[in-house]
Amino acid sequence: MSAILASGVVVLITHALEAVTGFGCAVLAMPFVSALLGVKTAVKVITILAWLLALYLAVRNYRKINFKQYAIITACMLAGLPAGMYLFRSQDTTALSFILAIFIVFVSVSQLYRLLRTKQTGSIPTGKAAIPYYLLLVLGGIVHGLFSSGGPLVVLYATRALPDKGSFRATLCLLWTTLNTIIIATYLSEGSLDQTTLTTTALLIPFVVVGVVIGERVHDKVDGRKFSLIVFSMLLLTGIFMLAFTR
């Protein structure tokens, strides 16, 4: 029971942060919950909890979803997903994870610096100039297939494509709902959701609820610039966590 309570505290904090920004709960919670509950159980439990949170926020903020950007992001990520899944099965991912973490830290620091100086993050260009940003999303799909954490690369695109904080959060939550639905469906088809996983998930749901209440209040109170600062601070924290737990 102590492991459940400790996991609940982690889940509350990380899911509150995602309720503010629309991303980050899984990658931040996973190292701690894995240490407490074991990797196999933690991955499934966190995936289900993240799915519940994203589904709730997507439904609640349905009118704020930018379906055009959702379609672009989803299509590009799905294009890269098979390659990532292949690399996960055929390559040593330690070095790739380290490179990704360094990249995330570098970009988040540079964006925080830019925000503090110019108070804006820029926008997505049109035409051929937008191709590098779409390739970033494809890379996000590859990373998601490798580590189930392609979110940081998607955030780099979404901060420019979705400058409104409500649209940013709602659109990303619909994306996570879609991707995690696929993953959970795979669990169901494999019959890998055992009684321990389901019981643990049920016990942790109240912590998600409290996290949502806290996160929603914070989200409503911050302005656009502060929201951007929180997003890139979260991104920096994600990169640091990935570096700390890369083996």
Distance CA 207, CA 11 (A): 6
SS3 205: helix
Q: How confident is the model at residue 246 (pLDDT cuts 50, 70, 90)?
A: low
**Of residues 218, 245, 247, 234, the one with CA closest to residue 104:** 234
Q: Residue 19 contacts by C-beta under 8 Å, 6 or more apart in sequence? A: 53, 57, 211, 212, 214, 215, 216, 218, 219
Each residue of 192-219: pLDDT tens digit?
Answer: 888 999 999 999 999 999 999 999 999 9
pLDDT of residue 116: 80
Range of the domain at 8: 1-245
Q: Token digits for 122?
A: 């820029």
Place of tokens 């260009």: 125
Structure tokens at 200: 């643990």
Q: Supply 215's token pair.
A: 């996160």
The domain tally of the chain equals: 1
Each residue of 4-44: pLDDT tens digit? 999 999 999 999 988 998 888 887 888 788 888 887 788 88
| pLDDT tens-digit series, residues 61-110 | 999 999 999 999 999 998 988 887 777 667 666 677 777 778 778 878 88
Could you report the per-residue pLDDT of 138-178, keeping only the tens digit for each? Answer: 988 887 776 666 677 888 888 888 989 899 999 999 998 99
Looking up tokens 């970033």, which residue turns up?
A: 136
